[in-house]
Structure 1
Amino acid sequence: MDKVDQSLISALRHDARASLSDLSHRLGVSRTTVRGRLDRLRQNGDIVGFTVVLKEDVQTDAIRGLMMIGIEGRGTDRITRQLRGLPAVRAVHSTNGRWDLILELGTGTLAELDAVLAQIRRFDGVSTSETNLLLATHKQS
């Protein structure tokens, strides 16, 4: 993947509905070049699809946090399924090192976050946890 491909992907991340003409103008290449590169990137599997971003997807929660969880025994799959069912859980990441899972949480109030943390800590198999509030996001993909 060269610089033109990377610029094309960057432009598509900004506006996936941009026309071939707009993309060619932004990149300083012909429409044929843009079409060919898009086709190649899709065929190679570099671009696997396009998606819609809804307004609620980009709205930020008033309270956001990261919760690291240590799990005893072999309950990781079961706990992960339980976590996916909680509305305040924005993402579940498996990891190595001290923690087994890292959660991205989002709520409207500290009281709601506290209730979610208490609920998760009561899950059978959750042995330890640590939570950090996110104060600001300086870059988001």
Structure 2
Amino acid sequence: MDEVDRAILGVLEHDGRISNAELAARVGLSPSPCLRRVQRLEQNGVIRGYRALIDPAAVGRGLRVLAGVRLVRHARADVAAFERAVMKLPGVVYCHHVTGNFDYLLQVEVADLPAYEEFHANQLAGLPAVATVTSYVAMKTLG
């Protein structure tokens, strides 16, 4: 990966819908070599995909909660069972395996506080090997 690839990635991070012609102009290439570089970055897994950023409140998910989860056991089977189950829960946007006070940090988006209470008590807390859940309500998200 060279500086041109990094420039392509920098532009695509901010505007994944940019046309190839505009992308090429911004990074100083002609369209054909630019397209080949983008395709190579996709094939090599550097670009993992493209997606729309949705306003959560506009689709009924106005409450964002960061939930720190600790597991009781860290045996491979328990970790795998938790990871499979957590990603099936509606409302879980991201799940990060982290170091520190928690084993996992989740980003959860739901309609409101009663919806999160139901999610926490009836879905998240009952997942395999969950010991504790610590919740942080996001008051504002920057960026």
TM class by shorter chain equals: 0.7 to 0.9
1:83 has 2:86 as partner: yes
Paired-residue identity, %: 24
What is the distance in 2 between the residues matched to 1:136 and 1:29?
39
1:127 has 2:131 as partner: yes
1:107 Cα deviation (Å)? 0.4
**RMSD of equivalent CA atoms:** 2.5
Task: Indicate the residue corresponding to 2:116 in structure 1.
Answer: 113
What is the distance in 2 between the residues matched to 1:136 and 1:109?
15
Name the amino acid aligned to 2:50.
Answer: T
What is the distance in 2 between the residues matched to 1:26 and 1:37?
14
Q: Deviations over 1:54-113 (max 9, x none)?
A: xxx512231001111111123322222222221121222222232112111110111001
Gaps of at least 5 residues in structure 2 are none
Give the 5 Å matches for 1:37-56: 37-42=37-42, 45=44, 47-48=46-47, 50-53=49-52
Q: Indicate the SS of the match to 2:85.
A: helix
**Taking structure 1 as the reference length, what is the TM-score of the superposition?**
0.76
What is the distance in 2 between the residues matched to 1:52 and 1:127?
34
1:33 Cα deviation (Å)? 4.0
1:21 has 2:21 as partner: yes
1:7 has 2:7 as partner: yes
Gaps of at least 5 residues in structure 1 are none
- On the 8 A contact 1:16/1:50 being kept in 2, the answer is no
1:65 has 2:65 as partner: yes
- How many equivalent residue pairs? 135
Q: Indicate the SS of the match to 2:89.
A: coil
1:130 Cα deviation (Å)? 0.8
What is the distance in 2 between the residues matched to 1:113 and 1:100?
20
1:17 Cα deviation (Å)? 4.6
Q: Indicate the SS of the match to 2:135.
A: strand
Change (3 A) 1:109 1:27: same
Change (3 A) 1:108 1:48: same
What is the distance in 1 between the residues matched to 2:36 and 2:133?
49
Name the amino acid aligned to 1:2.
Answer: D
